[in-house]
């Protein structure tokens, strides 16, 4: 287990990097920042020159791969870091200098335990992309198919494990301070980050995600997910169909090729809604670099390391919330927040509906160019504190992806109205999923499932309550505390915890001062 001193030293080292980019100021000056955190920030920035304009994305990029992923996670949390920081973090580029090809070749050969020539007829040593977790090379298989080969950076799993352990330690201490820090649930933010990166660090799971998404979208015309080469895929290497097309970010090239950009924008929005609301499984990294357009206009998605999943009940609530906001039915939107227990029951439904109206009404009747999903989400975040709404981690990826999709669609068609495009789809889904026929079908399925479960229920009751004549009922046993389960009294334990924390912080500060004084840290 990593010691508290090691965690403090890491945090101070990262804090100095944040300070050099001006990124600590938002924490240190925050009205809700706990005093111990503010003191740690002052210690971390001691002796640094902070720029006037903070560069959050540059700071996370400088710290390293795990920080890049943390920055992308924080970009979904305007309630936590503020709108200014979110706007900057959305520019965070997940790219690093490439690993030398010799190390990549060694990684491929070690993972498959066979020479590279047995797998590929040729492979380009220059990568087509190098991100924080993996890099991609173009190759031709021994059967003659052109593919993309994604390979994890050597040692990346171990580095992520070390860094995330410190994130967890820091989040636990921050949440223990209570107040606003507890409401924002930083431990769950880091838990989500850990789960997302665990998926990205196992390329078999990314391949499985691509396969599942391809299956879910198989009947959606004009949207394609590349096929996986399972024979050349394992935990550290993924081989996937090569994509030829124009990047969606290259608007000029798309226009020159004669593509229908407004039609493409609408198709992209509906594709996302189909994934998120109909399938409950969506591509959560839909930035411009991960979407291509083929000559026939088909949208092709790549990079399935970050995927979102929503259960059916949450999708029902989501659809009703979106439809209620588009139609101005704020009362129903408020009721859903209470039904889903997003808002504690001691608050008033009517008061919450009024607060929602304050968010929705200023957007109604405005020109298309001023209607924004992002603005709506920011407004919703703004009222969460007043109604004691805790963070809903299962919706963070969805919120982030909705803003991404809106940005992509607006770039393709500046006049697109996201509400007008979304409303018919959401209305149709609600009719199909919540209409009378669907309700009857749900009851029938539930009844049949209950009937089929009765035999197993009877068997479990018999096991729990055996017939008389078996073994006699044992007598009650005394409760004897075990040596290793003994604990100090609550007050002493709390004092010991705080004294240890202060000692670790003081020692970390002393070491950091010595490092700075000796000029060992730039």
d(C-alpha 240, C-alpha 149), whole Å: 7
**pLDDT of 124 over the 90 cut:** yes
**Other C-beta atoms within 10 Å of 248: how many?**
25
End-to-end CA distance of the chain: 29
**pLDDT of 380 over the 70 cut:** no
- In 3D space, the residue among 34, 43, 33 whose CA is nearest the CA of residue 11 turns out to be 43
**pLDDT of 138 over the 60 cut:** yes
Q: Which CATH architecture has domain 100-153+202-242?
A: 2-Layer Sandwich (3.30)
Please state the φ and ψ torsions of residue 123, each to the nearest 5 degrees. Answer: -150, 135
What pLDDT is recorded for position 485?
57
What does the buried/exposed string (b/e) look like for 339-362 if buried means 16 or more CB atoms within 10 Å of the residue's CB? Answer: ebebbeeebeeeebbebbbebbee
Query: Using one digit for the tens of pLDDT, what is the confidence trace for 64-103?
Result: 888 888 787 777 666 667 777 777 777 776 677 889 999 9
What pLDDT is recorded for position 141?
95
Residue 356 near residue 369, CB atoms below 8 Å: no
**pLDDT of 489 over the 70 cut:** no
Helix axes 393-412, 261-273, angle to 10 degrees: 170
* Collapsed DSSP state (helix, strand, coil) of residue 519: coil
pLDDT > 90: percent of the chain? 25
d(C-alpha 306, C-alpha 131), whole Å: 14
State the virtual CA torsion across 388, 392, 393, 399 in degrees, nearest 10: -110
Catalytically active residues, by annotation: 285
Query: Using one digit for the tens of pLDDT, what is the confidence trace for 321-363?
Result: 777 776 788 888 888 888 877 788 888 989 988 988 887 777 6
Query: Using one digit for the tens of pLDDT, what is the confidence trace for 48-59?
Result: 777 888 888 888
Give ranges for CATH 3.30.200 in the chain: 100-153+202-242
Query: Using one digit for the tens of pLDDT, what is the confidence trace for 159-216?
Result: 888 888 888 888 888 788 777 667 667 788 788 778 878 888 899 999 999 999 999 9
**Other C-beta atoms within 10 Å of 513: how many?**
13
Element (H, E) at 136: strand 134-141
Please state the φ and ψ torsions of residue 239, each to the nearest 5 degrees. Answer: -115, 130
- In 3D space, the residue among 268, 133, 275 whose CA is nearest the CA of residue 196 turns out to be 133
Q: Which residues pair with 307 in a beta bridge?
A: 283
Residue 396 near residue 73, CB atoms below 8 Å: yes
How many Cα atoms sit within 13 Å of 517 on the Cβ side?
A: 6
What pLDDT is recorded for position 58?
86
**Residue with structure tokens 């227990």?**
341
Two structure tokens written together for 330: 């704020």
Please state the φ and ψ torsions of residue 282, each to the nearest 5 degrees. Answer: -135, 155
| 179 to 77, 85, 165, 168: CA distances (angstroms) | 18, 22, 24, 19
DSSP letter at 98? P
Residue 522 pLDDT class (50, 70, 90 cuts) = very low
State the virtual CA torsion across 158, 163, 164, 169 in degrees, nearest 10: 130
Residue 306 near residue 397, CB atoms below 8 Å: yes
What lies within 8 Å, CB to CB, of 461 at 6+ separation is none
Burial grade of 191 (CB within 10 A; 0-12, 13-18, 19 or more): middle
Residue 291 near residue 411, CB atoms below 8 Å: no
DSSP code string of 250-287: -HHHHHHTT--HHHHHHHHHHHHHIIIIIISEEES---
């Amino acid at each position: 287990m990593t010691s508290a001193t090691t965690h403090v030293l890491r945090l101070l080292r990262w804090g100095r990097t944040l300070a050099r980019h001006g990124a600590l100021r938002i924490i240190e000056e925050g009205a809700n920042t706990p005093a111990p955190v503010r003191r740690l920030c002052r210690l971390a920035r001691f002796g640094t020159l902070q720029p006037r304009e903070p560069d959050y994305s540059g700071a996370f990029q400088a710290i390293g791969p795990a920080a890049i992923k943390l920055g992308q996670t924080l970009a979904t949390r305007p309630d936590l870091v503020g709108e200014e920081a979110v706007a900057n973090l959305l520019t965070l580029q997940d790219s690093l200098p490439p690993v030398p090809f010799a190390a990549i070749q060694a990684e491929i050969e070690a993972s498959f335990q066979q020479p590279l020539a047995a797998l590929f007829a040729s492979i380009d040593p220059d990568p087509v992309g190098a991100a924080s977790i993996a890099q991609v090379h173009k190759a031709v298989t021994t059967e003659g198919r052109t593919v993309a080969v994604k390979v994890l950076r050597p040692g990346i799993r171990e580095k992520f494990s070390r860094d995330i352990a410190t994130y967890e330690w820091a989040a636990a201490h921050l949440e223990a301070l209570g107040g606003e820090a507890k409401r924002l649930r930083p431990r769950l933010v880091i838990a989500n980050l850990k789960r997302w990166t665990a998926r990205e660090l196992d390329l078999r799971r990314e391949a499985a995600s691509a396969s599942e998404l391809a299956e879910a979208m198989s009947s959606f015309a004009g949207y394609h997910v590349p096929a996986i080469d399972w024979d050349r895929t394992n935990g550290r290497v993924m081989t996937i169909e090569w994509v030829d097309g124009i990047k969606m970010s290259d608007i000029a090239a798309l226009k020159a090729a004669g593509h229908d950009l407004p039609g493409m924008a609408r198709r992209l929005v509906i594709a996302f809604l189909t994934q998120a609301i109909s399938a409950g499984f969506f591509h959560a990294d839909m930035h411009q670099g991960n979407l291509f357009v083929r000559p026939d206009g088909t949208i092709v998605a790549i990079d399935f390391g970050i995927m979102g999943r929503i259960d059916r009940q949450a999708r029902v609530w989501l659809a009703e919330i979106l439809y209620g906001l588009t139609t101005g039915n704020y009362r129903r939107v408020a009721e859903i927040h209470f039904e889903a227990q997003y808002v504690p029951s001691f608050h008033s439904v009517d008061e919450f509906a009024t607060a929602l109206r304050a968010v929705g009404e200023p957007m109604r009747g405005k020109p298309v160019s001023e209607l924004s999903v992002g603005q709506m989400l920011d407004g919703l975040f703004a009222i969460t504190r007043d109604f004691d709404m805790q963070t809903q981690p299962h919706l963070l990826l969805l919120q982030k992806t909705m803003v991404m999709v809106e940005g992509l669609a607006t770039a393709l068609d500046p006049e697109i109205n996201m509400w007008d495009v979304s409303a018919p789809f959401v209305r149709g889904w609600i009719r199909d999923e919540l209409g009378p026929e669907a309700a009857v079908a749900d009851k029938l399925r539930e009844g049949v499932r209950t009937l089929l479960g009765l035999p197993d229920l009877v068997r479990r009751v018999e096991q729990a309550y055996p017939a008389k004549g078996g073994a006699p009922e044992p007598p009650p046993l005394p409760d004897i505390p075990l040596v290793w389960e003994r604990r100090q009294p609550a007050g002493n334990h709390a004092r010991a915890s705080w004294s240890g924390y202060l000692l670790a912080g003081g020692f970390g500060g002393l070491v950091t001062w010595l490092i700075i004084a000796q000029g060992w840290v730039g």
